[in-house]
Structure 1
């Protein structure tokens, strides 16, 4: 009888454990990590349970707590190399750098997973980098903003018009099951620099905040009238789930409009399937200083790892277009989050995979001679915990968030001052005017012209649509080469070089903390007109020759680019000679020269049917072949040995077909 009782008890315990494990697994797959942790702990101390507890801590941003569980993790079907890597990461988060180094070394020696081995090697190099970083002098001083912090979480500080906006879980409402904490809301408080007025702390209004979703990081356009912020989606909402989207709201008539999802959220692609599991996480937005670019973090497909940094351009309708990954120099197999563009155009962000002390560290991206350099801000800005969400309200001071020890609770907001005596901010801007010339060569302003700034590699940096004044403005950097590209309907797309080399100033010669230097340029667009003749610079030939000289090749390369940029035109390439030799000979020579130039262009990818070679011989001189006294004029003859092109045909430019479907955001901008 007693034996039967214990057998039944054991059976009940086994059945109960299996039922609890199923609930734990379901909670884990739904992203309810705190629930999963509590349930797995009830199933016993198995290696498999330890693995999922460790993963739940890691995925809910509590890597330190995961260490002891990774050390006991395992089980059938669970990758040992993955366990070892994240065990090393958790050791690093707990400042056990030598122990972490040992785990990385073992992983590199034994693993066949090349991706993990590469990450382990990067982490090893990062530990060596930290040793050197700690030897450098830090001018930063940090202080907990005690007045505003609570035992709950406060993070993502944003300063605007003497008000500090931030995110906090200080509420006592519904619990967010992923972390076991109250949902977060957006707050604001009046402040002068870092001196807050506690009597003014208030939640942002309903509609922005609600009690069933997390409201996350926020950013504002420079005029403060456009707000973009992150919001978790309710599971009850069609297309929702455990994802996060970016929302936009406008300040009109002293109220914030109802926020709507912005068009770059990848959730929109999946709304026909509410049960899909591939929604992306789009969050931590930040406007550029001019308000024309939005930076954000996302784990959408096509990135380099966990969450990557992206940018999107705002068009004239206020919609965001041309979403672009910031590339592998910035993004890693780990997580990059919380971008911020400072007044000097430097990009700050947080990462757990660039060389750091553990968890998220703060980094700054600097440009030098066209190359990207990424620097860890060092201690005390960074710690072995998570340090993130930087915002500078002056070039030498600002806010950031950290969950480092010694704070008042979970994430706290900190203030900092940079006391570097050599700190100088020099902003370079390139301003210009787009115009055309009439038949009398009088300048005419070109409104609604699109002017783009490309770097030396041809990658787009910024673009601008001119207003009625034809003006454009770009942020540029010292010692870099650029291409300006201008285009508008009815005109040839035009490219021209611009260099910043030799145009920078020595910061040591400046007295002010901030100096702005504005440089000027012009871009001239030519109207597309049939039979209009364009003289090519420096397309000259040696006497009695039709070979393409090196200096001529450079100019023909520009013509190739012009034909690539303007695929709708067909041209005649006309060649001219001086008056030496007979008319017949010069006619044949000029034809050979024109055909030689056309052959060069065809070799560089232009379709032959877009080109006509025409020799004019000596029939159309533009300079004297001889001086008035009858002596030879070599300068004039060189000018006459020229090449021109003439537009013969123009086909209409093909424009992409626009989808007629109107989404929520289209309707919003149409109605407002």
Structure 2
């Protein structure tokens, strides 16, 4: 009887333990689902991982036919397995752990595409974020072939395919920048990003590093706020917060400082029910501290929308920011205001379709010295995620933005460019990127690899260096102006250029004929600088004739000989180099024949020259012809003794031109 009682007791204990274990196992998935629905993806991932251990199916061993051939109970378990794997991948991705997400999406691509239609797309995104561009391209192409929807994902797939193709090509080119992760304790704990240099050895930055006070209160310690970093070059340490008041329930950071150092603009935000709303605030320096930030008015912060990432140009004239307010092109756009002498801001204006896309534009930076806008976007072809782009121009118009290349850009998010020097803003600075992090932005020091191309300008008459000539560097592909210089007494010029790019140089000086030429910087892959051949400019005076040598006509005729056309081609190229110039082309004869005949002949000859130039494409409004006959000799037609002077007659039978307007 005792044995039977003990046996029954053991059975009861065993059954209770089994029921408890089953309930405990069930709780892993239920708990994970709860965290997932609340958008706490980090916690969800931890519990989905635990839930996976309860399934008989092991990662990498799953086969689709197991579901089809199994019974209902087993089918239910396998369906649960699929959902757990999928949501685990989603959870990792949603907090930017793309490496772990990639592993589980690779498993999930074997699942039913009807139930999980976007798995292959996100698998490809994870591969791309790991710079596995060739594999990512294959997956994006497979997704495009199988996906039947016409929506944001089908549109983004085309962008991502272009990104992969672009990145594979660009990464074969020599790097334009050196990128080094900043040492010291600056990148320790949480996210660290958006540096704002305030002196040669100090910058402010935003960080979500754990706050010891909040840890003691058992609150979420990862709260974004502004910190102060001190150091130099690529090593900084930070032990203190910026002494600026915080508001409970808000996070703050991504700041800008006015050139005088006394006004701080910063972003503040809160998250409610998974929705983030941000606004831009203003604080004023008082001694070593800052006043409580006050929100800017509706000109910047439109009710119901977000504004963030303020930036003030180094000359203090422009205030830029990012916002999803009405009137934009899509999600977050870049906007700007002018700043008046008292610090007031004009009405906010959208930077327009030359810069903004239907996707995200973020983190504006503007160099007023070279008129270059730098910003980040995921709406243009790049390496994936947010990439740096630059655009030349002013606030009345911008050139087509250009991707700033590898390694300034990576397969993940790259944003918040900050310059070290206002007078050479794009040479040295800092960026923020999550390229080396599982989850978070970190701060990197960047330095542009300087490649130089130059030359010398001479005076054609004396061969001496020509000072004061205007040299314009243009992109020969897009024809936009990149930079201008003026030659010194040495007649020299030197530009900083990129490798493997085609350029055009335009050389101009008042009362000199302009010239231009093209060059390719391909040879700079092997050296740091290159010199173009010297160029000489020829001086002219308005209405002063210039003889064109070696213009020949058939005897007693106006028809041009072939060798004369070759000479006129030099005048044609001169007119191309000086597109605003208008000239008169004149012909002269010697004194043989009647005045009327010579006038008619010279007029016909001048017209023949003009007709030739027009036939080459010169506008007829720019060239006029005039025959002078024998009226303006430059040498005697006869000698003092009355005999013929062949040399003189030869000089008088001439063709010349003079500049009427330039």
Tell me the TM-score normalised to structure 2 length. 0.53
1:261 equivalent among 289, 297, 320: 320
| Structure 2 equivalent of residue 89 of structure 1 | 125
| Structure 2 equivalent of residue 154 of structure 1 | 192
- Note if 1:323 corresponds to 2:398: yes
| Structure 1 equivalent of residue 515 of structure 2 | 496
Contact conserved, 2:166 with 2:381, CA < 8 A, in 1?
no
CA distance in 2, matches of 1:468, 1:98: 50
Please give the secondary structure, in 1, of the residue aligned with 2:599. helix
- Note if 1:167 corresponds to 2:205: yes
1:106 equivalent among 111, 121, 142: 142
| Structure 2 equivalent of residue 283 of structure 1 | 363
- CA apart distance, 1:552: 1.0
Contact conserved, 1:454 with 1:460, CA < 8 A, in 2?
yes
- Note if 1:145 corresponds to 2:183: yes
- CA apart distance, 1:565: 3.0
- Note if 1:234 corresponds to 2:279: yes
CA 644–397 in structure 1, closer or farther in 2 if over 3 Å, else same: closer
CA distance in 1, matches of 2:441, 2:455: 41
Contact conserved, 1:230 with 1:285, CA < 8 A, in 2?
no
Contact conserved, 1:577 with 1:586, CA < 8 A, in 2?
yes
CA distance in 1, matches of 2:376, 2:634: 60
* CA shift digits 1:534-568 (9 cap, x unpaired): 53756834454543603313422432563x436xx
CA distance in 2, matches of 1:480, 1:626: 57
- CA apart distance, 1:589: 3.2
CA distance in 2, matches of 1:47, 1:483: 62
For 1:406-425, list aligned pairs within 5 A: 410-413=440-443
CA 594–124 in structure 1, closer or farther in 2 if over 3 Å, else same: closer
| Structure 1 equivalent of residue 482 of structure 2 | 462
CA 598–225 in structure 1, closer or farther in 2 if over 3 Å, else same: farther
- Note if 1:565 corresponds to 2:580: yes
- Note if 1:191 corresponds to 2:191: no
Contact conserved, 2:189 with 2:209, CA < 8 A, in 1?
no
Please give the secondary structure, in 1, of the residue aligned with 2:279. coil
Structure number, greater radius of gyration: 2
| Structure 1 equivalent of residue 14 of structure 2 | none
CA distance in 1, matches of 2:457, 2:264: 30
CA distance in 1, matches of 2:321, 2:489: 31
CA 36–593 in structure 1, closer or farther in 2 if over 3 Å, else same: farther
Please give the secondary structure, in 1, of the residue aligned with 2:600. helix
- CA apart distance, 1:184: 5.4
Contact conserved, 2:313 with 2:319, CA < 8 A, in 1?
yes
Please give the secondary structure, in 1, of the residue aligned with 2:629. coil
Please give the secondary structure, in 2, of the residue aligned with 1:167. strand
CA distance in 2, matches of 1:452, 1:497: 9
| Structure 2 equivalent of residue 215 of structure 1 | 254
Contact conserved, 1:283 with 1:298, CA < 8 A, in 2?
yes
For 1:329-478, list aligned pairs within 5 A: 331=403, 350-351=408-409, 358-359=411-412, 402-403=433-434, 410-413=440-443, 427-429=452-454, 452-456=472-476, 459-464=479-484, 475=495
- CA apart distance, 1:35: 9.5
| Structure 1 equivalent of residue 59 of structure 2 | none
CA distance in 2, matches of 1:471, 1:280: 46
- CA apart distance, 1:572: 3.8
Extract unaligned runs of 5+ from structure 2.
1-32, 49-78, 149-153, 215-219, 269-277, 281-296, 323-332, 337-347
| Structure 1 equivalent of residue 506 of structure 2 | 484
Q: How many residues align?
A: 510
Question: For the aligned residues, what is the CA RMSD?
Answer: 7.0
Please give the secondary structure, in 2, of the residue aligned with 1:453. strand
1:310 equivalent among 356, 380, 390: 390
Please give the secondary structure, in 2, of the residue aligned with 1:325. coil
CA 58–522 in structure 1, closer or farther in 2 if over 3 Å, else same: farther
- Note if 1:294 corresponds to 2:372: yes
- CA apart distance, 1:151: 0.9
Contact conserved, 1:535 with 1:645, CA < 8 A, in 2?
yes
- CA apart distance, 1:84: 3.2
CA distance in 1, matches of 2:263, 2:532: 29
CA 533–47 in structure 1, closer or farther in 2 if over 3 Å, else same: farther
| Structure 2 equivalent of residue 247 of structure 1 | 311
